[in-house]
A and B are shown apart, each in its own frame.
Chain A
Amino acid sequence: MSGILRVCTAAGCAGCGGSALREQLGAVIAAATTGDPASGLALKGVGCLGPCGEGALLELESASGRRLFGGITPEGVAAVAASLANLSPGTDLGTWAPPAARPIDLEQPFFRLQKRLVLEHCGRIDPESLAEALAAGSYGQLRRVLQENRPEAVIEQVRRSGLRGRGGGGYPTGLKWATVARMPGPEKVVVCNADEGDPGAFMDRSVLEGDPHRLLEGMAIAAWAVGASRGFIYVRAEYPMAIAHLRTAIAQAEDQGLLGAAIAGSAFGFQLELRVGAGAFVCGEETALIHSIEGQRGVPRPRPPYPAEVGVFGLPTLINNVETFASVPPLLAIGAEAYAAIGTTNSGGTKVFSLTGDVRLAGVLEVPMGTPIATIVETMGGGAPDGHAIKAVQTGGPSGGCVPANRLDTPVDYESLQELGSIMGSGGMVVMDDSTSMVDVACFFMAFCREESCGKCIPCRSGTVQLHLLLQKHLAGEADAADLAQLESLCHMVKDTSLCGLGQSAPKPVLSTLRHFRGDYLALLRPEPEATPEPVP
């Protein structure tokens, strides 16, 4: 009997049976191999396998191909393990049908329509093994660029690839790198923003948990290209497994001379430190992030100066998010032109999305930029369950907006989503069916921003509270037309006057639902009060 068993041990699956499954299957295989030294059966705990809503997940790979099973519950784990133990030694793994598990068709659109570059190794390799990462090709691009010794050529490649910031802003990555590279001074810093805070977004978690070395390689390449010798990964404390895997990966890479001094035998040194957040969404904003790395309150400051000029410890600083850095090694591997050809003219490459909410198949997927939203939520995600229709798709979290059902043909690229009053954001995509009140959704996000406002500037600190109160008044059926007008004008005021991106975008979920679902608001208004007496003639 030979083959590979992959158990998804990412946070989603681990919590619903994945950890137990790995443990018990491990015991079975250990027992089997002591009796049969020739057994080629291998068990791997891997990062995200994709359809998180179907967990726990088990993938079987044998000579006859790959098969995926889902829906394994904590109660069903023992039955799966027992069944494996009872297989006769000669059985082909390809014929084994684990009990208490549902086969998942790997040929369905969810898998078939993906283009996996960032997630290339995610779900394939053991994220805690550097050997597996190296075998899959990790650090190959870092070695190559160090050998070629032309940092400006790397920046030029990134520029030509059309890669743009995957954290939501969409700023051209090559341009950012070039700016930092041009800054004078002997010391520069590279920061990875892994403070994935949008509720409903977990793309970055999947990368951090499933293939941390890809991020480390991307950061090291960036550091070398811009001339930085220090780096920080700022990761949110809510991701304990990601933190653990990153710590392991950094230690392994330092051990093997892939981080630290004299990387891969070159003169290039890069000290990478992990900084764990302590629960503050606003730290995703880059100036707040800098303050937090410096051990201060995570409050933003006005820009300019931009971090590229004055960043961590006052040094020129390059800040990108997880997916942006993780896109660099595959981008260099396939070449800038091939990478740019994948996406649209203005948005090159692929984008990772986390798909959740009222959708049949929830999970993490990677598609070419420019893929229509409908393809993602309907064709790949299977649409809304239980006979419901999709009403809207929320993108960009608390800083984004809602795309109405009749605009789902919109391609996912930075400009198209902005035109609709939403944003690409970091990649959270929450599907809402026709039973959803969009006023409730807007109120939910406003409550979030109210809670996460840092409190420095008055429009955000106090404006989000007033907006939240107004939305609650609407939901309670106590608002009138004047309240609706006030809601709208206060939204614009907070958007136009807040100090940082959190406050400036906090009204977006309201403005976008007002634009596309005004009827939801109007339906909640109470009738106009009696008019005041007419002026006496």
Chain B
Amino acid sequence: MATDHSIVSSREASSQPGSGAFPELEPVLRRQGHRPDGLIEVLNRAQELHGQLTPALLRHVAAALRLPLSRVQGTASFYHLFRFKPPAAHRCVVCTGTACHVKGADALLRALERELAPGGATEAAGAEAIELGTVRCVGTCGGAPLVVVDEQVWNHQTPASVLAGLRGLRR
């Protein structure tokens, strides 16, 4: 349809779905038999390969599994771990599970939010390269409070120790 010409369909900007657009997804699509129930497995793999789920990827997956676009987007956006923006160079995830909460994860998170926010003390030092996130328990509560930086667990942290560590990453 799109009789309203002021709207540019994002389809025009993306590659056409079909075989060959994302050949790297073929193995997982085949393993899932191109069945709709494999959607989450396919999305997991797509994000693993591309760091995020772009509209082009989502269109390709929808076409390959014969699913309506809104079904694919609705499902992908339901789950916390799927992302629709490119990842930053570094990722700092504060655990906000029960044990970490009891040991001060809240203060840790607030301090990091402040420091890494635009205008925060560390912004000038390149904070945009660090993405701050949270996770509800990684199940290694002995090290509370902890953060996970680029998949590495840093145990028993304070705001100062995390910031010092993050500054080290930037260099």
- A interface with B by C-beta (< 8 Å): 11-12, 15-16, 52-55, 196-202, 205, 237-239, 275-281, 292-299, 313, 354, 356-358, 362-363, 394, 397, 428, 430, 432, 436, 441, 444, 448, 451-452, 454
Tell me whether A16 and B98 are in contact (CB under 8 A): no
Contact call B142/A428, Cβ cutoff below 8 A:
no
B112 within 8 A of A: no
- 7 smallest CB-CB distances across A and B, nearest first, come from A279-B80, A15-B153, A295-B39, A278-B79, A199-B97, A200-B98, A202-B139
The 30 sampled A-B contact pairs (Cβ below 8 Å) are A11-B139, A15-B153, A15-B155, A16-B143, A16-B155, A198-B137, A199-B101, A199-B137, A200-B141, A201-B137, A205-B139, A238-B139, A275-B40, A275-B41, A276-B40, A279-B82, A280-B79, A281-B136, A294-B37, A295-B35, A295-B38, A295-B65, A295-B75, A356-B141, A357-B99, A357-B141, A363-B142, A428-B98, A430-B99, A454-B78
Instruction: State which residues 19-66 of B face A: CB under 8 Å.
Output: 35-41, 43-44, 65
Contacts A295-B37, A295-B65 aside, 18 further interface pairs with beta carbons under 8 A come to A12-B142, A16-B143, A52-B141, A54-B142, A196-B139, A200-B97, A205-B139, A281-B136, A293-B37, A295-B35, A295-B40, A297-B74, A297-B75, A354-B141, A428-B98, A441-B102, A444-B98, A451-B136
**Separation of A15 and B80 alpha carbons in the complex (Å):** 23
Given A15-B143, A278-B82, A444 and B44 contact (CB-CB distance below 8 Å): no
A299 to B74 alpha-carbon distance, docked (Å): 11
CA of A238 to CA of B35 in the docked complex: distance in angstroms?
25
Tell which of B43, B98, B153 touches A199, judged by Cβ atoms closer than 8 Å: B98
Q: B140 at the A/B interface (Cβ < 8 Å)? A: yes
Chain B: which residue is nearest A11 at the CB level? B140
Determine the residue in chain B with the shortest Cβ distance to A240. B151
- In the complex, what residue of chain B is closest to A197 when comparing beta carbons? B136
CA distance A21 to B25 in the complex (A): 37
User: Are A362 and B40 neighbours in the complex by a CB distance under 8 Å?
Assistant: no
Also in contact, A279 and B153, with CB within 8 A (given A295-B75, A356-B142, A356-B144) = no
Note all chain A residues with C-beta closer than 8 A to B9: none
Q: How far is the CB of B46 from chain A (nearest CB, A)?
A: 11
Tell whether, in the assembled complex, residue A394 and residue B98 are in contact, meaning their CB atoms are under 8 Å apart.
Answer: yes
Q: Which residue of B lies closest to A281 (CB)?
A: B136
Residues A200 and B137 in contact, CB atoms below 8 Å apart: yes
Q: Does B135 contact A (CB under 8 A)?
A: yes
Q: Which residues of B contact A363 (CB under 8 A)?
A: 142
Establish whether residues B79 and A277, one from each chain, have CB atoms under 8 Å apart when the complex forms: yes
Per a CB cutoff under 8 Å, which of B40, B101, B139 touches A444?
Answer: B101
Q: Does B138 have its Cβ within 8 Å of any Cβ on chain A? A: yes
Cα distance A52–B39 in the bound complex, in angstroms:
36
Q: Is B6 an interface residue (CB 8 A)?
A: no
A296–B75 contact, CB under 8 A?
A: yes
Contact in complex: B141, A295 (CB < 8 Å): no
B7 at the interface (CB under 8 A from A): no
Would you give the shortest CB distance from B131 to chain A, in whole angstroms?
15
* B152 within 8 Å of A (CB atoms): yes
Partner of A12, one of B96, B98, B143: B143
The CA-CA distance from A276 to B143 in the complex, in Å, is 25
Instruction: Write out the residue numbers on chain B whose beta carbons fall within 8 Å of the beta carbon of A299.
Output: 78
Chain B contact residues, CB within 8 Å of chain A = 35-41, 43-44, 65, 71, 74-75, 78-82, 96-99, 101-102, 135-144, 146, 152-153, 155
**B52 → chain A, closest Cβ, in Å?**
13
A430 with B98: in contact, given A239-B139, A292-B40 (CB under 8 Å)?
Answer: yes
B82 CB contacts on chain A under 8 angstroms: 278-279
The residue that B153 contacts in the complex, of A16, A202, A452, with Cβ under 8 A, is A16
Across-interface contacts of B136 in A (CB, < 8 A): 197, 199, 281, 448, 451-452
Q: Which residue of A lies closest to B71 (CB)?
A: A296
Residue of A nearest to B31 (CB): A273
Q: Which residue of A lies closest to B38 (CB)?
A: A295
Q: Which residues of A contact B65 (CB under 8 A)?
A: 295
Q: Pick the most buried of A201, A202, A237: most chain B CB atoms within 10 A of its CB.
A: A202
Contact of B139 among A12, A275, A293, A362 (CB under 8 A): A12
Would you call B36 and A295 a contact (CB within 8 A)? Answer: yes
Residues of A within 8 A of B78 (CB): 280, 297-299, 454
Q: Say whether, besides A292-B40, A362-B142, A278 and B153 are in contact (CB < 8 Å).
A: no
Contact B43 A278 (CB under 8 A): yes
Nearest Cβ on chain A to B98's Cβ, whole angstroms: 4
Q: Which of B35, B75, B81, B152 contacts A279 (CB 8 A)?
A: B81
In the assembled complex, which residues on chain B have CB atoms less than 8 Å from the CB atom of A199? 96-99, 101, 136-137
Question: Once the chains bind, are A53 and B44 in contact (CB under 8 Å)?
Answer: no
Q: Is the CB of A201 within 8 A of B139?
A: yes
B138:A11 contact, CB within 8 angstroms: yes
A444 to B142, CA, bound (A): 19
Give the docked Cα–Cα distance between A356 and B99 (Å): 6
Nearest CB on B from A505, distance (A): 15
Task: Enumerate chain A residues within 8 angstroms of B155, measured Cβ to Cβ.
Answer: 15-16
**Distance in Å from the Cβ of A212 to the closest Cβ of chain B?**
16
Residue of B nearest to A297 (CB): B78
Least distance between B160 CB and chain A CB atoms (Å): 19
B98: A residues at CB distance < 8 A: 199-200, 356-357, 394, 397, 428, 430, 444
List, in ascending order, chain B residues with CB within 8 A of A52's CB: 140-142
A221 to chain B, nearest CB (A): 25
Verify B81–A202 contact, CB threshold 8 A: no
- From residue B70, how far is it (CB to closest CB) to chain A in Å? 11
How many whole Å from A475's CB to the nearest CB in chain B?
A: 11
Write the nearest CB–CB distance from B41 to chain A, whole angstroms.
7
Q: Beyond A15-B152, A16-B153, A278-B82, is A432–B139 a contact (Cβ under 8 Å)?
A: no
- A204–B153 alpha-carbon span in the complex (Å): 20
B35 to chain A: which residues have CB within 8 Å? 295
Tell me the complex Cα distance, A354–B137, Å.
13
Contact call B153/A432, Cβ cutoff below 8 A: no
Q: Would you give the shortest CB distance from A426 to chain B, in whole angstroms?
A: 12
Q: How far is the CA of A293 from the CA of B32 in the complex (A)?
A: 12
Of all chain B residues, the one with the shortest Cβ separation from A430 is B98
Partner of B37, one of A313, A444, A451: A313
List residues of chain B with CB within 8 A of the CB of A297: 74-75, 78
Which A residues are CB-close (under 8 A) to B74?
Answer: 297
Q: Is the CB of A430 within 8 A of B102?
A: yes
Distance of A198 from chain B, by nearest CB (Å): 8
Most buried by B among A237, A313, A363: A237
